[in-house]
A and B are shown apart, each in its own frame.
Chain A
Amino acid sequence: MKKLSLHPLTWWIWAIALAIAVIRFDSTVFTIGCVGAVAVVVFINRDNAPWGKSFNWTLKLSAWILLVRTLIGVLIGVPIPGTTLFTLPILPLPSWMPGIRIGGTVTAERLTSALTEGVLICAIIVIFGAAASLTSPHRLLRVLPVYIYEFGISVVIATSVLPQLVSSVTRIRQAQRLRGQSLRGFASWRRVAIPLLEESLARSLDLAAAMDSRGYGVSKKRSRYRPIKWRATDSAVVFSALIVLGLS
């Protein structure tokens, strides 16, 4: 299937509309369906570029959030009456913390409510992650006005340095493995973090210096070499998301 070439703002508007729709529907089935649809769109349409690959990280991250969120939701909180699944020992808390309970009876209702909330949060993360991986940050910057200069520079640095971080992590972990260091546990991440921080800092400074020396932000007006036009396909994509929003 041919990739759509869209205006950089299109996918962001699309994502915002979908996110609002998901919140308004508040139905787990719809939310999961929406995430599925978004994932399909990303896998068909994403560029073979660092930001395109970032979607996998988004998925992993949201899976973690779902897990942690559900665990906490089940362990801590107000008991919801219903079918008892199993009972955990209750952690005794001091008397000045009334209403909070750690452990206790876990009911099916409590589990579902924790899961539903978790799914909703993750869906929003996935939807915005999709917009980020479908849009080239560089193209996005080009449609943003120049007067948000400082913001523009930070956006470029953040968006171009972050994807490079992923490749740097791989490279540094490889080197550490060659030094015969274990790659497990907290200590291994500390060993990666220091060279990584150093490198990304140097990289960001380089980029800022390069943009500065090429006159970025000096002239308040900026011409366009190849103006990015809003096309019918852009309207169609936005319209489809708006229909979903309207139905909610």
Chain B
Amino acid sequence: MIKFSNVSLIYPNSTTTVLEDLNLEIAEGEMVLVIGPTGSGKSSLLRLINGLVPHHTGGILAGDVSVDGHSTQLVKPGGMAHLIGIVGQNPANGFVADTVEEELAFGMETLNLPNDVMRKRVEEVLDLLSLAPLRDRSIATLSGGEQQRVAIGSALVAHPKVLVLDEPTSALDPIAAEEVLSILHRLVHDLSLTVVIAEHKLERVIQFADRIVHINGAGIANIGTPEQILMNSPIAPPIVHLARALGLKEVGVSVRDMRRLTADIREREFVLVEAVSSKSSDIAISFNNVSVEYDGKHALKSVSANFFSNEIVGIMGRNGAGKSSLLKSLAGISQLANGSVDVAGFNPQNLKGKERRSTIGFIPQEPSDLLYGQSVHIECDQADRDNQIPSGTTAQILNQLVPGITGTTHPRDLSEGQRLGLALSIVLSSNPAVLVLDEPTRGLDYQAKKELTKILIEFARATGKCVVLATHDVELVAELATRVMFLADGDIVADGTTLEVLLSSPAFAPQVSKVMAPQPWLKISDVVAAIEAQQ
């Protein structure tokens, strides 16, 4: 269906080739997963399929890409519209209509399909993706998962033979991600649709993939079945790392496979290792009866809790549960309808300038919002000056967090992970009493996530400070949080140690605990420690 023959790609003003002599044939009805570190060219590979690269982005393409016999050199992306549906990284940026129904119809209108055909197909897609109750809703009011489904739907109405998706689940909570992926799985099996998908969170998609294309950023691509590729790949989901840690000869790609492989380990007798709790009694953040309203809707309904120093609190919950609202009230930037917040003795609403910087460090959902300098160097100097600390301190912190960034680079040219690192070192340079992060792992690869985990644990342990982060990433929470607070519809529905909260909800349980249930282990190090303690 899709054929890459001797494809090489290089962007102008760049010295590294994105792809080099790639040969790949994707058959009809196959689901192919593209993996690789951030900035390695996954998006470029996807956009080569319908010719957006190079028609839309520039770049020099050698070799040929053809879909169903049509070469992208001869046909422009618009001419492939009936053949390929493409869903971008951020579907909200690609919407052209106001309501769900009109958005779905847009692609067919441009293809000049007759009215009765359009009506029929819109109904089909509404049913297929369970969008029927939303048909008249304004797209701007939909949640992230619903928007993703609309974007997939509007690609499907043209009855394409190929569907291309760029990180379809990165902004979604685990349940919404599950919904989207199972729909894709069904399309592949029912309609024999060919699906090409790029994704960082392998734990979510790996079980659906037929083949993996692993690109390393220097032009080299490895192609094979999930088992073959994951055996040696540094990019792997937690269960594969678990298999390696346990010294298994095979790797399983689904929880089911892994449970079969580890049955004997689970059945052994284990002495329960009592976790040493080093809970501090110093309250870092305390909030009482906090309510927040937007346009008459309750985003938070009278929530209260205390966060202690030395704690890493993971705030979880579905899209729209009130996570961001809670973080914003802690940081003092949303108007409280009711209640009070106290951060290290201050009311965050009144904090300004240096006092604010030394009390709360906040990393917003888009870390680049904090950056405005023309180079990394200028950003670091600015932070040094703001905090009246010796020149070069921020740059030193940055070098510790993410080594190897050239000072003259423009922040825009950094990878997602590097940009987060820069924002983080600017925030840390003022040595804040509490650190608040909103959804820090969006678009981060495993390597960057590992670095982030290390930094945050270090920060909380070494300095005894409080870290609060909102995230959809169950694996991240399992790795670093000491406490989890679960929000639903503006209420706190669960609040306890990470172990208690994560194990009590199957949808939000990390892979290791799913494999190892009923043993109470959340991460690989737990498993290894328990096995060692037994020997």
Binding site for B on A (CB under 8 A): 49-50, 136, 138-139, 141-142, 156, 160, 171-172, 174-180, 182, 190-192, 194-195, 198-199, 202-203, 205-219, 221-226
Q: Nearest chain-A residue to B436 (Cβ)?
A: A178
Q: How far is the CA of A214 from the CA of B331 in the complex (A)?
A: 42
B184-231 contacts to A, CB under 8 A, are none
Q: For the complex, give the distance between the alpha carbons of A74 and B76 in Å.
A: 58
The reply to whether A179 and B105 contact each other, CB–CB distance below 8 Å, is no
- The answer for the CA separation of A206 and B114 in the assembled complex, in Å, is 28
The reply to whether the CB of B440 lies closer than 8 angstroms to some CB of chain A is no
| A179 CA / B81 CA spacing, docked (Å) | 44
User: B458 interface residue, CB < 8 Å from A?
Assistant: no
B:89-106 near A, CB below 8 Å: 90, 93-98, 101-102, 105-106
15 contacts between A and B (CB under 8 A): A136-B98, A175-B364, A176-B369, A176-B372, A179-B427, A195-B371, A206-B90, A211-B94, A213-B81, A213-B84, A214-B155, A216-B78, A224-B109, A225-B105, A225-B115
- Contact: A219 with B357, CB < 8 Å? no
**Are A172 and B369 closer than 8 Å at their CB atoms?**
yes
Residue B389 CB within 8 A of the other chain: no
Asked whether A179 and B352 contact (CB < 8 A) given A138-B98, A209-B52, A225-B108, the answer is: no
Q: How far is the CA of A137 from the CA of B110 in the complex (A)?
A: 17
- Assembly CA distance A223 to B110 (angstroms): 7
List the A side residues contacting B446 at CB < 8 Å.
Answer: none
Q: Point out the residue from A160, A178, A198, A223 that lies within 8 Å of B368, measured CB to CB.
A: A198
Determine the residue in chain A with the shortest Cβ distance to B151: A210
A171-B364, A180-B353, A218-B79 given as contacts; is B333 within 8 A of A223 (CB)? no
**With A139-B98, A210-B94 as contacts: A176 and B112 at CB distance below 8 Å:** no
Instruction: Judge whether B50 is part of the interface by a CB distance below 8 angstroms.
Output: yes
Q: Is the CB of A222 within 8 A of B372?
A: no
Q: CA A203 – CA B91 in complex, angstroms?
A: 11
Asked if B297 CB lies within 8 Å of chain A CBs, one says no
Task: Give the distance to chain B from A191, nearest Cβ to Cβ, in Å.
Answer: 4
Complex interface: chain B residues within 8 A of A141 (CB): 96
Given contacts A172-B369, A213-B81, contact A138 B115 (CB under 8 A): no
Measured between beta carbons, the chain A residues less than 8 angstroms from B50 are 213
Q: Take A177-B333, A226-B102 as given contacts and tell me if A213 and B80 are in contact as well, using a CB distance cutoff of 8 Å.
A: yes
Within 8 A of A (CB), among B138-167: 138, 140, 154-155, 158
- Bound together, the chains give a CA A199 to CA B404 distance in angstroms of 26
Give chain B residues whose Cβ lies under 8 Å from the Cβ of A176.
369-370, 372
Q: A174-B333, A178-B333, A214-B107 are in contact. Are A225 and B78 (CB under 8 A)?
A: no
Instruction: For the complex, give the distance between the alpha carbons of A218 and B50 in Å.
Output: 14
A172: chain B residues at CB < 8 Å are 369
> Nearest Cβ in chain B — how far from A211, in angstroms?
6
Bound Cα distance A207, B362 (Å)? 30
Do B113 and A223 touch across chains, with their CB atoms under 8 A apart? yes
Known: A208-B56, A213-B50. 6 other contacts (CB 8 A): A175-B370, A177-B356, A178-B364, A207-B96, A209-B52, A210-B86
Residue B430 at the chain A interface, CB threshold 8 Å: yes
Chain B residues with Cβ below 8 Å from A50 are 140
- Taking CB atoms, residues of chain B closer than 8 Å to A194 are 372
Give the interface SS of chain A, mostly helix, strand, loop or mixed: helix
Note all chain A residues with C-beta closer than 8 A to B322.
Answer: none
Q: Which residue of A lies closest to B115 (CB)?
A: A223
Q: How far is the CA of A237 from the CA of B114 in the complex (A)?
A: 32
Contact (A171, B369) CB under 8 Å given A180-B352, A213-B52, A223-B109: yes
Also in contact, A209 and B56, with CB within 8 A (given A138-B96, A191-B372, A218-B79): yes
A-binding residues in B (CB < 8 A): 47, 50, 52, 56, 76-82, 84, 86, 88, 90, 93-98, 101-102, 105-115, 118-119, 122, 138, 140, 154-155, 158, 331, 333, 351-357, 360, 362, 364, 366, 368-372, 386, 412, 426-427, 430
Complex Cα distance, B81 from A50, in Å, reads: 29
The minimal Cβ–Cβ distance linking B88 to chain A, given in whole angstroms, is 6
Among B79, B93, B333, B351, max chain A CB count under 10 A is at B93
The verdict on A178 contacting B88 (CB below 8 Å), with A49-B138, A218-B110 known, is: no
Cβ distance B139 to chain A, nearest Cβ, rounded Å: 10
B369:A180 contact, CB within 8 angstroms: no
Q: List chain B residues, Cβ under 8 A from A171.
A: 364, 366, 369
Interface pairs A-B: 6 shortest CB-CB: A215-B81, A210-B94, A225-B105, A175-B369, A206-B93, A218-B78
Contacts of A191 in B (CB 8 A): 372
Residues of A within 8 A of B115 (CB): 223-225
Task: Please give, as numbers and ranges, the residues of chain A lying within 8 Å of B356 by CB-CB distance.
Answer: 177-178, 180
Q: In whole angstroms, what is the CA distance A216 to B427 when docked?
A: 44
Partner of A222, one of B88, B112, B370, B371: B112
- Docked pose: A202 CA to B43 CA in angstroms: 14
Which of the listed residues A138, A156, A203 has the most CB atoms from chain B within 10 Å of its own CB?
A138
Please determine whether A210 and B88 come into contact, CB atoms closer than 8 angstroms: yes
Q: How far is the CB of A229 from chain B (nearest CB, A)?
A: 14
- A141 and B106 CA atoms in complex are apart in Å by 11
Partner of A223, one of B118, B353, B430: B118
Known: A195-B372, A224-B115. A180 touches B386 (CB 8 A): yes
**Chain B residues within 8 Å of A182, by CB:** 353
The answer to whether A203 and B77 touch across the interface, beta carbons within 8 angstroms, is no
Q: How far is the CA of A39 from the CA of B46 in the complex (A)?
A: 48
Say how far B10's CB is from chain A's closest CB, in angstroms. 20
- Report A-chain residues with C-beta under 8 Å of the C-beta of B78: 212-218
Q: A174-B364, A180-B356 are in contact. Are A215 and B369 (CB under 8 A)?
A: no
- Asked whether, in the complex, the Cβ of B88 is within 8 Å of the Cβ of A215, the reply is no
- Whether B110 pairs with A217 at a CB distance below 8 angstroms is yes
Which B residue sits closest to A172, measured CB to CB?
B369
**Pair A206/B369 contact, Cβ less than 8 Å:** no
Question: With the chains together, A49 CA to B108 CA distance in Å?
Answer: 25
> How far, in angstroms, from A76 to B391 measured CA to CA in the complex?
50
Using CB atoms, name the residue of chain B closest to A161.
B93
Q: Tell whether, in the assembled complex, residue A190 and residue B372 are in contact, meaning their CB atoms are under 8 Å apart.
A: yes
